Amino acid sequence: MAMRTTSPPTYIPPNTEEMRVAAQQVGLRQFEIGLVTDLCNLAAGGTINPPSSYRARMRDFAEEQIPRDKPNREREVETKFNDLMKYHQAVQDFLEAIDLTRFPGNSPLEQAMSVLKLLAKMPNGAGGGENGGNLMIPIFQNNDNPEKVAEQLHEVMDMVDSMSEIEQEMLDPDGNYVEESPEGDGQRSGHQELNRQKVAEDLVPGADKRVMLDISRTLDQFTKLQARKQVRLEQDPMGEEVRSRPIRSISELSRVSKAAWAMRQEASTHFLYQAVSGQLPVRERATRIERKQTIFVLLDGSGSMRGRKHWKATGVVMNRLKAVLSGDAVVYLSVFDTEMGDPRSASTPEEARTLIKDFASGNFRGGGTDIAAAIRAAHTYIAEQIKGGAMLYRPEVVVLTDEDTSVAALKKSEIPGTRVHGFAMEVANKSLVEFARSTGGVGIEKF
């Protein structure tokens, strides 16, 4: 029987066996029985009890825990009692703040297990004992702001619900977040549905993919990092499109529209004035030419670029690859040390998904780090691609490094037309940041 909450009159809380079955369905090994009951009661429309309703119970429990022959027993009991009350008050504050309607589940028990599974993914969020128990959950012990735990879980669900299809593809290149939804008779409908619980588990605070998404969304705020393709219509007698443009000379009068010729009959002087001043529209055939932006990512391959730095770098790569999925850019990626490694490229959604998957799981090792040489090599590589006929423009080089080595040896004149973005991962690198900004790019230290 729950002591922190009361269920509505028409609701019967789940028993321990039902909780275990529901926990297995979401892959939850540990849970606190009392907290599951509390969440179920509230999801069903129940109420939270005042702490005074269980003070006597906690006092009795504290008395039972301390041996009667223990020295200073009275003080020990009081300390135990205060700790218990503080813990349960923290849990109640959490229960007051949590909005269970925001979490996946078709029943109070399913919603409760969704919350607890996400809580277990957070630091110190697991507890209660194997297959159910009444042990305290560490995240609520000595926690002066348990409401923040609820806020963090709400934020996770907000991120899930605001995720774009492109972000989903980058975080889940294998498509594991989407599954077929069942019909009423249990048969597969063929309709694809996002598994919000699975996505949420990957986005709890501190998770690798949460780091990726946070970094990618941070970069979305930089105007200088917005990628876009160039679309132009060029005159082509064999072109499939027809466009209107201002007349350039009297010799083009035969291409003026019939409506304009009709004006000549009524106001010939004004018609000629518009012709010589370039105001008459003429029609011509044209071909649409598209050039995608070129983005070259240089990743420092040194062994120190592991752990959180790696996932931050993966977030930057994800952000750049989103432009491939939107059709605005071609992305090249190379791991460098003292020289640039062989580049990989992504110009299609499938290539972008493959590249982010391989990059996220990659284990890169290199020797020294020569940032200036890598930038020069990337600039040269892009120039060669364009010279060879690649429909590319507006080259940008993105440098991801945790080195503080200077790039003073590199001059803007050596990479004409190329914009550099420099991200010094958790270190200060004033030289790289200032050089990036001098090219019109973004430069950030201690990223």
Kindly report the average pLDDT of the chain as a whole number. 90
Q: Tell me: the pLDDT tens digits for 57-78?
A: 999 999 999 998 889 999 999 9
pLDDT at 134: 66
Percentage of the chain beyond pLDDT 70 is 94
Give Cβ neighbours of residue 35 (< 8 Å, ≥ 6 apart). 91, 116, 128, 137
Higher model confidence: residue 441 or residue 284?
A: 441
Question: pLDDT confidence of 406, banded at 50, 70, 90?
Answer: confident
pLDDT at 21: 95
Q: Tell me: the pLDDT tens digits for 116-173?
A: 999 999 999 987 766 666 688 999 998 999 999 999 999 999 999 999 999 999 999 9
**Domains in the chain and their CATH numbers?**
5-157 (no CATH), 223-227+291-444 (3.40.50.410), 231-288 (no CATH)
The DSSP annotation for 130-192 comes to: BTSB-PPPGGGTT-S-THHHHHHHHHHHHHHHH--HHHHHHH-TT-TTEEEEE-TTS-EEEEE
pLDDT at 77: 93
Give Cβ neighbours of residue 446 (< 8 Å, ≥ 6 apart). 424, 426, 427, 428
The answer on pLDDT for 187 being more than 80 is: no
pLDDT at 189: 47
Phi–psi pair at 334, nearest 5 degrees:
-140, 135
For residue 226, the tally of other CB atoms under 10 A from its CB is 12
Residue-level length of the chain: 447
**What single-letter DSSP state applies at residue 250?**
G
pLDDT at 183: 55
pLDDT at 281: 87
Average pLDDT over every residue of 28-35: 91
Question: pLDDT confidence of 301, banded at 50, 70, 90?
Answer: confident
